[in-house]
Amino acid sequence: MRADKLLCAKQGCLEKSGHTDDVQRPSNIGAVLRETTELLAALPQASPYLEARLLLSAATGRTHTEFLARPETELSATDLAHFDRLLRRRLAGEPIAYIRGRQAFWTLDLRVTPATLIPRPETELLVELALARLPAKAPLRVLDAGSGSGAIAAALASERPAWTLLATEHNSEAARLADTNLRTYRLGNAHVIRCDWLQPIARNSLDAIVGNPPYLSATDPHLGQGDLPWEPRPALAAGPDGLDAIRTLCAQATSRLRPTGFIALEHGYDQGPAARAIFEWHGFEDILTHRDLGDRERATTGRLPPPGPHSTLISSKVAASSR
């Protein structure tokens, strides 16, 4: 049975859509895209037209430009069968990024597998913050903590050839994938280290730490929604209040960062106050929370105080900023 019929049968819409077994399915690009867009609209949180063309590109190797230029092109039986298999997976809820094995992030098109979180557009905020707040030409050592697919490290390494990026990742499959992504873009200034957070990193050796750690509560209902049930749980959830990884990272960061070292961590939209309190507790200063494009608090930044006997007495400035 075709994937669309499966969906229609499930929803009892076979009659409404006019699909019956003896009806000839469309096999040209334009009609397949139209039909698929309609089918995908039934999925929660799908971008139906975008996903229809990404799936058709993945199945046929053809580009969006070709779809637009020659929508009347008939697809081969092999391409149609391949497309059907991909569509079926999407209709079963599998994230489009895992089906295609790719996800766009920053200016890059990264390989992703179910061993890693799917890089999100919100996380580009961390890249912007690091680019805006750190000197571009200085030979900085910047660490991406819990790098997953290597998204943040790859984006920063591609923008700042003078920096050295260290991407730490606990999961060995994810670490291999991050390495593949860095090699694909020939980012010789970025290196993957398989380890827990900052464990093996030497004292006073880093200028900055950025990271998108897991930050959902282990009981957050979102874990059952959208793409999340397909993503690795340890990349998403961190203890009862979702803040375990942020606490661990801040605790490890203070000894690894040099004086005035910078930290930028992503967190949940409602975790700004808690993140600022954790940063302050660990002695960070210039603490600011930044909003994402959806105007939600999404990342908090801070700096270690300069060296000096009274540095810890300098009071932390805690404020929320909007971009």
- Residues contributing to the site for ligand GLN (CB under 6 A): 117, 119, 123, 146-149, 151-152, 212-214, 235
Whichever of 168 and 189 has its CB closer to ligand GLN, that residue is: 168
CB distance 178 to 148 below 8 Å: yes
Residue with Cβ nearer ligand GLN (212 or 252):
212
Question: Which residue's CB is nearer to ligand GLN, number 8 or number 299?
Answer: 299
Q: Residue 62 or residue 176: which is nearer to ligand GLN going by CB?
A: 176
**Are 126 and 323 within 8 A, CB to CB?**
no
Total Cβ atoms within 10 A of residue 36: 24
Q: Which is nearer to ligand GLN, 91 or 153 (CB)?
A: 153
Helix (H) or strand (E) holding 144: strand 141-145
Question: Of the two residues 80 and 108, which places its CB atom closer to ligand GLN in the complex?
Answer: 108
Q: Is the dihedral of CA 255, 284, 241, 131 positive or negative?
A: negative
Between CA 297 and CA 299, with CA 298 as vertex, the angle to 5 degrees is: 115
DSSP secondary structure letter of residue 221: G
Output the smallest distance, CB 166 to ligand GLN, in A. Answer: 13
Minimal distance in Å, beta carbon 137 to ligand GLN? 25
Tell me the two tokens of residue 209.
Answer: 């730490």
Measured from the CB of residue 161, what is the shortest distance to ligand GLN in angstroms?
Answer: 21
Residue with smaller CB distance to ligand GLN, 152 or 250? 152
Q: How far is the CB of 49 from ligand GLN (least distance, A)?
A: 25
CB of 90 to ligand GLN, least distance (A): 21
Residue nearest ligand GLN (C-beta atom): 148
Q: From the CB of 123, what's the least distance to ligand GLN, in Å?
A: 4
Cα separation of 130 and 308, whole Å?
25
Decide if 210 contacts 265 (C-beta within 8 A).
Answer: yes
Distances (CA, A) of 168 to 12, 123, 125, 210: 49, 17, 19, 11
Nearest approach, Cβ of residue 39 and ligand GLN (Å): 29
42 by Cβ neighbours in 10 Å (0-12 / 13-18 / 19+) ranks as middle
Cα distance between residue 195 and residue 198, in whole Å: 7
